[in-house]
Amino acid sequence: MNVKDMSTDDIETSIGEIIGDMANIRAQIGEAKGLAAAHGEYSDSGWFHRANLALRLKGRDHQALQVELGKRRREEKKAHSDTVEQAFIDVARSRLDYTTFRALMDEATALVGQRKAA
């Protein structure tokens, strides 16, 4: 599964589908374990191993989708934040006199430097 080529909507849809698939697989495994415990009726060992493998593979796909979705959301949030910050700077530059604006920019630059050093 190449999550990088998927749209965000496709990723969200796939996450929902995979969660449903995983719940279904877990229910089948749970039923098989219950029958074994209650009645001694063991499921086919090949089926049981394939079901557990399918669950692990679905879990891996789910994790990859979640990681990519989180990355995209962080990038979107940063892009929005950067846009708002730049707009604020542009408004401040237009409304403040040069000396006041420059003093604020110098103070902000120093604060960023302090935060990076900490």
**How many angstroms separate the CA atoms of 19 and 59, rounded?**
9
pTM here is: 0.73
- Compute and round to an integer the Cα radius of gyration of the chain: 26
**How many angstroms separate the CA atoms of 84 and 80, rounded?**
6
- Minimal CA–CA distance to 4: which of 61, 68, 76? 68
Confidence (pLDDT) at 77: 93
- Minimal CA–CA distance to 92: which of 83, 81, 104? 104
Which residue's entry shows tokens 């990355």? 71
Q: Quick one: angle between helices 8-39 and 45-95, nearest 10?
A: 150
Confidence (pLDDT) at 118: 80
Q: What is the mean pLDDT of each run of 10 residues along the chain (118 residues)?
A: 92 98 98 94 94 98 97 94 91 96 94 88
Confidence (pLDDT) at 1: 78
- Minimal CA–CA distance to 66: which of 114, 117, 1, 112? 1
Domain ranges within the chain, ordered by starting residue: 3-117
Look at the alpha carbons of 75, 76, 80, 81 in this order and tell me if their dihedral is positive or negative.
negative
